Amino acid sequence: MRAYLFGFFHSHGGSTVTEYALIATLIAVTIIGAVTILGQDVGNLFNDTADAL
């Protein structure tokens, strides 16, 4: 049991999961930020086009 716990706490396999989670979080925050910034401009473009028709 002691050897199992020692191996479990010194395993480096979980670090890749953490890194992938951080990368996914950064990508999600970037996408949300871009949609928030560009969303209003795209909405205005569609509204202007609809008004012109």
Does a structural domain hold residue 41?
A: yes
Does a structural domain hold residue 31?
A: yes
Does a structural domain hold residue 6?
A: no
Domain range enclosing 30: 12-52
Residue type, 30: T
Q: What is the pLDDT of residue 6?
A: 61
**How far is the CA of 39 from the CAs of 3, 15, 36, 44, in angstroms?**
54, 35, 5, 9
- Residue 20 sits at φ, ψ, to 5 deg, of -65, -35
Reading the chain (53 residues) residue by residue, the pLDDT tens digits are 666 656 655 655 566 788 888 999 999 999 999 988 888 888 888 899 999 98
What is the tally of structural domains in the chain?
A: 1
Does a structural domain hold residue 7?
A: no
Cβ within 8 Å of residue 29, ≥6 positions away? none
* Distance in angstroms (rounded) separating the CA atoms of residues 19 and 23: 6
Does a structural domain hold residue 4?
A: no
Does a structural domain hold residue 1?
A: no
Does a structural domain hold residue 5?
A: no
